[in-house]
Amino acid sequence: MSETETSTPSPAPAPVAKPWIEAIHAYVPGKSTGKDGRALIKLSANENPLGTSEAALAAKAQPPALYPDPDSKALREAIGARHGLDPARMVMGTGSDELLNLVAQGYAGPGDEVVYVRYGFAVYDIAARRCGATPVIAPDADYGTDIEALLACVTDRTRVVFVANPNNPTGSFLPAGEIARLHAALPSDVVLVIDQAYGEYVAAQDDDGAMALAAAHENVLVTRTFSKIFGLAGERVGWATGAPGLIATLNRIRGPFNVPATGQAMALAALGDTDFVERSREHNREERARFAEKLAALGNFGLRPLPSQANFVLVLFEGALTAEAALEGLAEAGYVVRWLPGQGLPQALRITIGKRADMDVIAETLRTMAEAAG
Ligand SMILES: *Cc1c(COP(=O)(O)O)cnc(C)c1O
């Protein structure tokens, strides 16, 4: 018997993921239960507290045995009509998350850089890393997006810049002048992605001008979603608009049947229910202001609600009451909100604007806790 036959065989090698994939921290979704598994009122994922439009709920899709329209043609035409866009300059995604990932994959790879602001949307980090590119994080300006800081991070390796406007989790908003200034200073071969997931919550007079930039330039992609104001997060429908070159890239690499038939039908109906959208926007505007005012009154206890143009408020805890203790107190009271220590925000809670009665309980719970903590 030879040596090799008697020695213990070394284990068969397991598959090895790429190092840039190993470096990804999987996205942590907003929770819907407390530590003990108890169901809580969920204000952790920026879903619409009014639910979904009746018209969307009544929408009928084709039989499930059939593949959906691979091009979401009717939906693109309806969105185009609503926003004054050429449907040929649009692509639909399995949520806008898919499109954010695809634009990074289409334009960046190993050795390239993808830039976004500190306290930006968590998906940008995953999108950058999963194509092997290097994420470059620009410093914030008191939790807001700082154009100069973003531009200072741009090098000849930069391929994509992500800006959410309004931003998640901060709620901060860049006016049209700032977006235009950012675009004007970027090299024309860098893709500027303006993520308008919360665009419908922004007052019409505050339009950030990104759609107009996307219509006029080769390097601007605007993304939108049916997950937030339209109340269709479960259906996974997002879209993007931009120059034909950008759209062609995304169409090459997206899933051919990436938007299910039910999602297409419900989104089409939701788009037509302008009353529901208007009611949702108005509810959010009123309750966000009311809630922020109550929290601002707790300023001497170190609570600081950041100004928000979205359907949530990021509350900083800079006094004796910590965000973690507040998270637990709110869970006791029956609510789950978002604590984001993994995103460098152990000092903050992101609270989705819910129904008035719930926001009142939350504000009151925070007041009681802040006073007790001193
Ligand atoms: C919620 C959100 C999205 C949308 O995600 P979907 O995949 O469309 O559900 C995109 N960007 C930001 C900043 C968001 O907060």
| 95-136: pLDDT as tens digits | 999 999 999 999 999 999 999 999 999 999 999 999 999 999
Q: What is the mean pLDDT of residues 41-58?
A: 97
Span from the CA of 282 to the centroid of ligand 1 (angstroms):
21
Helix runs in 43-167, H state only: 54-58, 73-83, 95-107, 122-130, 147-152
Tell which atom from ligand 1 comes closest to the C-alpha of 227: 9
Pocket test for ligand 1, best of 228, 236, 343 (most atoms within 8 A of CB): 228
Residue 280 to residues 51, 235, 277: CA-CA distances in angstroms?
9, 18, 5
Span from the CA of 271 to the centroid of ligand 1 (angstroms):
17
Place of tokens 């788009």: 271
Tell which atom from ligand 1 comes closest to the C-alpha of 238: 8
- Say if residues 107 and 160 touch (Cβ distance below 8 Å): yes
**Dihedral sign, CA of 83, 89, 93, 98?**
negative
Strands (E) across the chain are located at 41-42, 90-94, 113-117, 134-138, 158-164, 191-195, 220-225, 237-241, 303-305, 312-317, 335-336, 338-340, 345-352
Coil vs helix vs strand at 275: helix
- Say if residues 49 and 354 touch (Cβ distance below 8 Å): yes
Report the predicted TM-score, pTM, of the whole model to 2 decimal places.
Answer: 0.95
Q: Could you tell me which of 97, 167, 101, 98 has the C-alpha nearest to residue 128?
A: 101
Nearest CA, atom 3, ligand 1? 197
Q: What is the pLDDT of residues 282-326, one digit of tens each?
A: 999 999 999 999 999 999 999 999 999 999 999 999 999 999 999
Nearest CA, atom 12, ligand 1? 197
Using CA atoms, how far apart are residues 119 and 69, in angstroms rounded to an integer? Answer: 37
Using CA atoms, how far apart are residues 266 and 78, in angstroms rounded to an integer? Answer: 12
Ligand 1 site, residue 113, Cβ cutoff 6 A: no
DSSP state of 113: E
Q: What is the pLDDT of residues 157-189, one digit of tens each?
A: 999 999 999 999 999 999 999 999 999 999 999
- Residue percentage of the chain with pLDDT more than 70: 98
List all residues 6 or more positions away from 117 whose beta carbon is below 8 Å from its beta carbon.
137, 138, 139, 140, 145, 146, 149, 150, 163, 167
Nearest CA, atom 1, ligand 1? 197
**Dihedral sign, CA of 193, 198, 199, 205?**
negative
pLDDT exceeds cutoff 80 at 6: no
Ligand 1 site, residue 233, Cβ cutoff 6 A: yes
Q: What is the pLDDT of residues 76-105, one digit of tens each?
A: 999 999 999 999 999 999 999 999 999 999
Pocket test for ligand 1, best of 97, 125, 208, 266 (most atoms within 8 A of CB): 97
Instruction: Provide the pLDDT for residue 35.
Output: 79
List all residues 6 or more positions away from 298 whose beta carbon is below 8 Å from its beta carbon.
366, 367, 370
